[in-house]
Amino acid sequence: MNSISSIMGEQKLLPIIQVNNADDGVDIAKAMYEANLRTVEVVLRSEKSAEAITAIKAALPEMIVSAGTIIDEASLKIAKDAGADFIVTPAVTERLLKALTASGLPVLPGVSTVADIILAREHGFREMKLFPASLSGGAAFLKAVGGLFKDTRFCPTGGVSESNYKDYLSMSNIFAVGGTWVAKPEWVEAKNWQAITDACLDVK
C-alpha cells in the first residue's frame, strides 16, 4: 500500500477543505490546483462533503482527494463510495484500524498520545496525523517521540497556521502539515478564490 508521503510527493501542505456544498468544494480545489497543489483533504463534516469529493474528482481528475474525519465504518463507507483516494482519521481504535486496514485504501490515522502511536504501529502504520496538534503537545511532543519511534513520521494538524507551520516542517519526523488557514471561511463566503491560491503559494 502506498504511503501518504509518497502519494503527496514534494507537497508539504495537506490543505483541508470544509464546505457546505459541492460547488464551493470544486472552486476551492481549483484555487489550490492553481497553486500547484495536487493533494487535498475534504473533511466529512457536512451533508455535502461526500458530494464535494465526487465533484472535485470529476472536475480535476489529476487531483488526489482524501476524505477526513473518518471516525467509524459508516463514514469510511461514505468516503469510499464518494471516490476518496485515501483516508484520514482524527483518532484510532482497534475496531477502526481493522476496518481501515481492510479498506484497501491508503490511510493516515490520527493519533494524540504515545499509546495511540503504538496502537497504529501494531497495525502496520508508520505515517500518522497528530491531532489536534496544538493540544497534544505540538512540536515538543513530536520531538520527544522522535527518539522513541525513529521510523515513524507525522503530519500535524489542528492549530497549525501560517505562523508556526515552518517550525513543524523543520523537524525530521514531519513529512507534511495539514491546515485550514489557506482556505479561510470568509474567503469562501466572498468567493475570493484568488486569496486561497495566494495563501497556498505562500507555503514554502
Q: Which are the catalytic amino acids?
A: 41, 129
Q: How many helices (H) and strands (E) does the chain have?
A: 10, 9
Query: What's the chain look like in SS3?
Result: CCCHHHHHCCCCEEEEECCCCHHHHHHHHHHHHHCCCCEEEEECCCCCHHHHHHHHHHHCCCCEEEEECCCCHHHHHHHHHHCCCEEECCCCCHHHHHHHHHCCCCEECEECCHHHHHHHHHCCCCEEEECCHHHCCHHHHHHHHHCCCCCCEEEEECCCCCCCHHHHHCCCCECCEEECCCCCHHHHHHCCHHHHHHHHHCCC
How far, in Å, CA of 53 to CA of 94, rounded? 27
* Cell of residue 93, nine digits: 481504535
Residues 6+ apart with CB under 8 A from 57: 63, 65, 83
